[in-house]
Structure 1
Amino acid sequence: MLAVLLVTSCTSSSASGEQGDDAKPRSTSSARPAPPRKPVALTIAPGDRAAGVEPGAPVTIAAVDGKVTQVLVVNEAGQPVAGVLSPDATTWQTTEPLGFGKTYTATATGRGTDGKDATVTSVFSTAAPRVKADLSMNPLDGQVVGVGQPLAFYFDAPVANKAAAQQAIQVHSEPAAEGAFYWYSDKEVHWRPKEYWAAGTRITINASIYGRDFGNGVYGNDSRTAVVTVGDAVVANADGATHQMTVTVNGAVVRTIPISMGKPGHETPVGTYVVMSEHTDYTMDSSTYGVPADAANGYRTTVAVASRMSNSGIFYHSAPWSVGDQGHRNVSHGCINMTTENARWLQSISNKGDVIVVQNSGGPVLESWDGLGDWQVPWDQWAAGGKK
């Protein structure tokens, strides 16, 4: 029933102040009708009899024209699944993942604006994976990295639904940075910003892959998280023509280092490298890139300081045997030689993820897949996504 109240106020229009019989109302007001009361409309996702449900997707109960008053989601053993109600009581979602290959029953009650209760139920089953894909990633939680560090993710099973994988891996940085994913293969995807990270950036990675359908019966297994900090902007430019390396920290030149790069036939590839790992008392072994240590051009030597720049065996490292050549000529097998003191100093101010640019070496172009050569890919090509 709608009630409307009409209020009329009259005043005299006569000069004597007396109220006339034909006086007209000057103002009126009326209350707005109350909205109609409706029964609550409840929905449960996944719906009743749904099969092959992603265990990583939340169970969601939503109410229209009312509020959710009670929810119970249980597995086959009757154990409840935890969830949370929104502040306005119109939505409820699970807060813990479901299991693989299980059946669940969700029961929800709500109350409409008409004051009446309604209950709905959904019985559904989750997917049973053919393969559970685990994920490794670089960098790891708590690490400090350089401004060139890409975020690399390695699945142990092929990912057909790459869009689902990218949606599952969330990257957030402070300050914000524009970036994109690039697939090197069905098992390897990297994320990098358009430009180098700003020094001091805080990167949060939330790889919520558990229970996500990656296609062909492959589902994500354990989720991974990491919080990573970007250190100072350490960038080294190695010039094969001048035989010098110029090192800058946060844009300021801090040292120029005499170096020796790859000799003829072993020219150091040209391009932008990212430091992959740092070592001390490290054994340099030519057999790791296909040349036996006892071959004419082979070697097996332990050095005091070495930092890896590529998977093909390029390092900058201490080389006391070539000090006389450093700053004058290129005599190495492709690595960047420097004195032990300079190598130790450079490593002391560096982190993995720092940038080393090689130019004028006479070598081939560094391949983007060799180590972390991500910056070799032009941005427009990178943003297209690689081998999708």
Structure 2
Amino acid sequence: MSLAVLMVTSCTSGEAATEPKNDTSEQTSSAKPAPPKKPVKLTITPGDKAADVVPGGPVTIAAIDGKVTQATLVNDDGEPVAGRLSPDGTTWQTTEPLGFGRTYTATATGQGTDGKPATVTSVFSTATPRVKADVAMNPLDGQTVGVGQPLAFYFDVNIENKAAVEQAIQISATPHTEGAFYWFDDSEVHWRPKEYWAAGTKITINAAIYGKDFGNGVFGNDSRLANITVGDAIVATADGATHQMTVTVNGEVARTIPISMGKPAHETPVGTYVVMSEHSNYTMDSSTYGVPVDSSAGYRTTVAVASRMSNSGIFYHSAPWSVGDQGHRNVSHGCINMTTENARWLQDISQKGDVITVQNSGGPVLEPWDGLSVWQVPWDEWKAGGKR
């Protein structure tokens, strides 16, 4: 009997020892405190009294510890500048560019986490350019080009800050394509891929130069936008030893064309050309590259089909007068002669930007600045940037 009583007593005492305590002080200490309420901090960029602000950059209003509740930006004529508030309400930014040589007033109102409003104002002025720089582009919006086409930009004024130009001109391609800028001189820059474009590539050029500071008082003027498509891969090799041109389409041989290239003292330069333009009923005129028409080496002849390969006057073109020589000997003044039927076939299947490589002609090396002959520059040299 005494043993049974001890056992119950032992069990009862164990349960009492494990009963939870009602410790309210411990529960209170584990709860997270509410964040402190803070006044909003508003900033405007550019700041008050800023001068020579670059018009191409955005105006930004930002809120810390709160949100932007109202933002306005007006020029010195009281005209508003459009802007957009971020979804979280913490940032407002202009969606249109500013003007040159204007004064602007930005006003921002915000509310802090403490519920209290605040307002800040910035009055600033934009730069007045010494010169406005315009840019011409090749190719243009909507064009289809060949796999060798560089993206060429020609400014109407010399550029000092070339890095600013490269930053302003955005090149995107699908599929992604590695490439780089190369300056031929202070006003001409080209962008080309490391290797030929893939057929079917979609290219977007966003030359957002407006209001950008290019140094020495030169600011970009009108921005340009272009969407380009790369067509089939048309690549030709013209051989002065065999007097044949082999044309491939997307890697497959499509036709071998008998040709005649430059005769002695007029040898066709050796190298990789990019077709620049296509023409019908074109007048070939020796005076365009310095040889008078009435001289012994001069000529002025209209041909049915002609495609320009260089600025120095190299074309492939129809030449019915040399059909007997085509495939056998070189008799031209430097151009690539072929029958009218072959010239028309080649021009019909191709577009500017197609690649033609000349070999074994005995001529000098093609200069990379002659036309769009960018593939004459090795990639390692090209990506170094040229005359920066």
Which of the five TM-score ranges fits, normalised by the shorter chain?
over 0.9
Aligned to 1:289: 289
Pairwise CA distance, 1:15: 3.1
Name 1:169's counterpart in structure 2.
Answer: 169
In 2: Cα distance, 1:384 partner to 1:57 partner: 28
Root-mean-square deviation over aligned CA pairs: 1.6
Following TM superposition, by how much is the alpha carbon of 1:229 offset from its aligned partner in structure 2, in angstroms?
0.5
Alignment match, 1:227: 227
In structure 2, the residue matched to 1:211 is: 211
Q: Tell me the TM-score normalized by structure 1.
A: 0.94
Matched ranges for 1:235-384 at <5 A: 235-384=235-384
In terms of fraction of residues, the more helix-rich structure is 2
Largest Rg, 1 or 2: 2
Change (3 A) 1:26 1:15: farther
Q: Distance in 2 between matches of 1:26 and 1:312?
A: 97
Offset, 1:18: 7.3
Unaligned runs of 5+ in 2: 1-9
Q: Is residue 20 of structure 1 aligned with residue 19 of structure 2?
A: no
Distance (Å, rounded) in 2 between the aligned partners of 1:50 and 1:324: 75
**Residues 117 and 296 (structure 1 numbering): CA distance in 2 closer, same or farther, change over 3 Å?**
same
**Equivalent-residue separation in structure 2 for 1:26 and 1:162 (angstroms):** 75
Q: Which moved more, 1:241-250 or 1:55-64?
A: 55-64
Report deviation, 1:25. 5.6
1:222-250 CA-to-partner distances (Å, cap 9, x unmatched) read 11100010000000010111100000000
Q: How many residues align?
A: 375
How far the C-alpha of 1:119 sits from its partner, in A, is 1.3
Instruction: Give the corresponding residue for 1:187.
Output: 187
CA, structure 1 residues 137+275, in 2 after alignment: closer, same or farther (shift >3 Å)? same
3-state SS of 1:303 partner = strand
Alignment of 1:9-48 (within 5 A): 15-16=11-12, 19-20=15-16, 23=19, 30-48=30-48
Is 2:158 the partner of 1:158?
A: yes
Post-superposition Cα deviations, 1:32-81, rounded to whole Å, max 9, x if no partner, equal 22222222221111111111111111101111222111100001111110
Note if 1:83 corresponds to 2:76.
Answer: no
Structure 1 residue matching 2:11: 3-state secondary structure: coil
Aligned equivalents of 1:268 and 1:85: distance in 2?
61
The residue identity in structure 1 corresponding to 2:217 is G
CA apart distance, 1:88: 1.3
Q: Work out the CA distance in 2 between the residues paired with 1:219 and 1:363.
A: 43
Relative distance call for 1:158 and 1:20 in structure 2 (3 A) is same
Aligned to 1:59: 59
**How far did residue 363 of structure 1 move?**
0.8
Distance between the aligned counterparts of 2:358 and 2:86, measured in 1?
55
Q: Equivalent residue of 1:15, what SS?
A: helix
Q: Kindly provide the amino acid, as one letter, of the partner of residue 105 in structure 1.
A: T
Match for residue 113 of structure 1?
Answer: 113
Higher mean alpha-carbon deviation, 347-356 vs 26-35, is at: 26-35
Identity in percent? 78
1:267, distance to aligned residue in structure 2 (A): 0.7
Q: 1:26: Cα distance to partner?
A: 11
Task: Please list every run of 5 or more consecutive structure 1 residues that lacks an aligned counterpart in the other structure.
Answer: 1-13
Query: Per-residue displacement from partner, 1:81-129 (whole Å, max 9, x unpaired)?
Result: 0001111111111011111100000011112222222211110000111
- Structure 2 letter corresponding to 1:178: E
The amino acid of 1:15's aligned partner reads C
Mapped partners of 2:170, 2:41: distance in 1: 33
* Residue in 2 that maps onto 1:74: 74
1:31 Cα offset (Å):
2.1
Aligned counterparts of 1:227 and 1:343: Cα–Cα separation in 2:
29
